[in-house]
Structure 1
Amino acid sequence: MTPVWITGLGAISALGAGADTLADALQAGRSGITAQPGSEAHALKPFAAGVVTEALAAGMPPAQRNLYDRHGLLALEAAAEAWAQAGLPAAAPDPERAAIAWGTGLGGSISMETSYTQMFTARPPRIHPYTVVRVMANSAASHLAMRHQLRAAQLAISNACASSAQAIGEALWLLRNGRADLALVGGSESMLHVGSALGWQAMGVMAPLDADAPAQSCRPFDDGRKGLVLGEGAAALVLETEAHARARGATPLAVLAGYGHSVDAVHLSRPDAAGQARAMTAALRDAGLAAADIGYVNAHGTATEVGDAVEAESIAAVFGERAVAVSATKALHGHLIGAGGALELVATVQALRRGLLPPSAHVRSSALAAQVDLVTGEARPAAARAAMSNSFAFGGSNVALVVRLT
């Protein structure tokens, strides 16, 4: 089987810009979650969210910037960092052998809401002429393909919260199958707008704002967990076949070793432990590893009452009770929906490389700790050689990715 190396990492989230900044914050337990005002006019309650505060594409000409939704601009930031770390020229050296695989759950939703607002409030309606190309699901992937001349294949995955994780996994198989030698992969998401927040609040899965400690509104695996907090951002990785990377003298950061994907086919929003276990088992099989070889699991861990309990059950079923270190980082950066899998894979790679497992923040007490070995408090030193990152989506799609050190 063709080994696939990770040669570049990039990230931008509420924790700041940069893959190292992400890892630093997660290890320190520093939260990027802040209070958002809501909207009295729309009956939107104040809520907690992970907002990116960095300026995006500040030097881009306005005419070019007009082509992008915010999630596309976030994609550019993360991809630029990963591409630079991989030591690649601006354009892929062999465009016909370079691919793009990108995930987003509802990319372009800001532009879509803006268009509807203009349609119902402006007289006559004045819809932005680039609305269609801003909101299409392959918008970010297309921009990245043009920027780096990635012509071998374009995969644009929109599979709810598993989107970017699935994009990464499908790109792994694409490289193994000889369709390309290099792939830029990841995901981006930005849905911190009124319509989106109203939808999540109406569903009853968004955590209420903790007025005393907004940064602690999201508590995965804690007994007092009350729901997720939304976040925005992007993450990117450069994948290369080992032969291609060696030929150009690239340095491996880690090996993307395994990908498992399953579908619950049970319920639109209620997760299924058996389905999750199938994805994790498939990823281990694909990587040629045993459960005992995994030293850390970055859990999907959204902080919903049912979701965390089901995931604890599925992890225990695959690895054994309290047999592997587990933490969830969404408490600090928020739930990036379609981009979450990519950001959390970057965090997982960083944890392996640094030998420090990030803690699950804000856990005061946890009955689920009887099933899984939760990393709480401070970052835990560990000599893990392989790790898994889980992404479980509404619609019943489950993705597990396995990475290992070289």
Structure 2
Amino acid sequence: MTSGDSIAVTGLGLVTAAGIGTDVTWKGVCDGRSKATKNPVLADLPIDISCTVPDLDPARHVGPRSRLTHDRFIQLAIVAAREAVADSGLDPLTWDGARVGVVIGCGLGGITTLETQHRRLLEKGPQAVSALLLPMLVPNMVAGHLAMDLGTTGPNFVTASACASGATAIGTAAGLLREGVCDVVLTGGTEANVSPLMVTGFAQMGVLSRRVDDPTAASRPFDAARDGFVIGEGSGVLVLEREADARARRAPVRARLAGYGASADAHHITTPEPEGRSVRRALRDALAQAGVEADEVRHVNAHGTATRINDAIEARTLRAVFGDGVAVTSTKGVLGHTLGAAGAIEAALTVLAVQHSTVPPTANLEQQDPDLDLDVVSGTARQTKVDVAVSNSFGFGGQNAVLVFTAA
């Protein structure tokens, strides 16, 4: 792929349980220590731990009226998007907004607003319910708010493919650039559903870790003692441009988004297809679009949820495609599972792995499951040249999205 048709990542913005900002998140992930803690919001539940964004002040970080008009999933995305645009060197006051698109992944939307307003309805009656319930609830409003905040009037929408939503958004955004519809796309994902109802729902499915007495040891991707994920929240936003355009304005390019592959398992509402056939197809399609062979891949940021079945199926699939020559990590051990934001946050971390020639460790990997025959990085970050890296994202319904990033 030449610079004339490749897609450049020129800006990153991250808001995660490791902190507000790309640098603090990258440091936290490379340190390899879980950010899970007890959460007072969940205090009356059997599962009362989560990975939440610390010290976010909507009035300071977003605006004085934010608490009245934005659900938390929108606040997180606005903060991440502003950082990403500033990082790219683009100026919303001077860009042609009609040529700037917004494609954001979100699995659920404003569930905390829904829970709060439903409680008001039951306790105080209809007149107590906010007139802004629906604008704060529906997932598409995050893209709308980003457009209003940054003055973008190009294509504007949200993708929803469960925990693959953020990666689906990024792959879709690249298509808008390749087709000439946009010159710049702000893309990524956001989610803020650490709420009693959502945590209870996941707990009832049996997918959350029950290691609540030791929160920082709870999420254990690929470990023999793994028992489920820790729910998290966050947002990741990338600024994408055609590389030729980025070079023409002398913008630093962090990495190239070289390939995207997507597929459906058509198997089960929550459990991946055991042989990983559709995931392998998505991987191979992404590699083919990138013009690279499997043996050129040096790093995979795995979906790695720390659930028994998912980690096992993903490990077998990665082994079948890449053999033993790829360094694997799951950053969910540090940040928790951020649901619809996960694919975007992990894509941004994969860009940083390429840029810094560093593979972050998988938190809490003390004894790797002997049935998972992978080179999973643990303990400390691994310094190694990463010319080609893959980020995997899979969602309920069997929706798979794979992104390939290469060094600029």
Counterpart Cα distance in 1 of 2:63 and 2:129: 21
| Segments of 4+ moved more than 3 angstroms | 37-41, 59-65
Q: Match for residue 234 of structure 1?
A: 235
Counterpart Cα distance in 1 of 2:392 and 2:56: 30
Q: Is the 8 A contact 2:15 2:235 kept in 1?
A: yes
Counterpart Cα distance in 2 of 1:367 and 1:209: 18
Q: Is the 8 A contact 1:104 1:164 kept in 2?
A: yes
Q: 1:131 aligns with which of 125, 130, 133?
A: 133
Q: Match for residue 68 of structure 1?
A: 70
Counterpart Cα distance in 2 of 1:146 and 1:194: 31
Q: Match for residue 311 of structure 1?
A: 314
* Residue-pair matches, total: 402
Q: Is the 8 A contact 2:222 2:372 kept in 1?
A: no
Identity, in percent, stands at: 39
Letter in 2 for 1:8: G
Per-residue deviation, 1:383: 0.8
Per-residue deviation, 1:64: 4.8
SS in structure 2 opposite 1:102?
Answer: strand
RMSD of the alignment, in Å? 1.6
Greater mean alpha carbon deviation, residues 103-112 or residues 239-248: 239-248
Letter in 1 for 2:200: L
Q: Is the 8 A contact 1:11 1:234 kept in 2?
A: yes
Where do 5+ consecutive residues of structure 2 fail to align?
none
Q: Match for residue 30 of structure 2?
A: 27
Per-residue deviation, 1:362: 0.7
Structure 2 vs 1, CA of residues 185 and 368 (structure 1 numbering), >3 Å: closer, same or farther?
Answer: farther
State whether structure 2 residue 303 is matched by structure 1 residue 300.
Answer: yes
Q: Match for residue 258 of structure 2?
A: 257
Q: TM-score w.r.t. structure 1 length?
A: 0.95
Structure 2 vs 1, CA of residues 62 and 20 (structure 1 numbering), >3 Å: closer, same or farther?
Answer: closer
Structure 2 vs 1, CA of residues 135 and 92 (structure 1 numbering), >3 Å: closer, same or farther?
Answer: farther
Q: Deviations over 1:167-196 (max 9, x none)?
A: 000001110111111000111100011111
Per-residue deviation, 1:288: 0.8
Q: Match for residue 220 of structure 1?
A: 221
Structure 2 vs 1, CA of residues 210 and 395 (structure 1 numbering), >3 Å: closer, same or farther?
Answer: same
SS in structure 2 opposite 1:286?
Answer: helix
Q: Match for residue 199 of structure 1?
A: 201
Structure 2 vs 1, CA of residues 309 and 23 (structure 1 numbering), >3 Å: closer, same or farther?
Answer: same
Where do 5+ consecutive residues of structure 1 fail to align?
none
Per-residue deviation, 1:39: 5.3
Q: Is the 8 A contact 1:188 1:339 kept in 2?
A: yes
Q: Is the 8 A contact 1:92 1:98 kept in 2?
A: no
Q: Match for residue 376 of structure 2?
A: 374
Counterpart Cα distance in 1 of 2:119 and 2:358: 46
Q: Deviations over 1:342-371 (max 9, x none)?
A: 101111111111111111111121235752
SS in structure 2 opposite 1:184?
Answer: strand
Greater mean alpha carbon deviation, residues 325-334 or residues 150-159: 150-159
Q: Match for residue 268 of structure 1?
A: 269
Q: Is the 8 A contact 1:56 1:73 kept in 2?
A: no
1:244-393 aligned at under 5 Å gives the runs 244-272=245-273, 273-320=276-323, 322-368=324-370, 370-393=372-395
Letter in 2 for 1:30: R
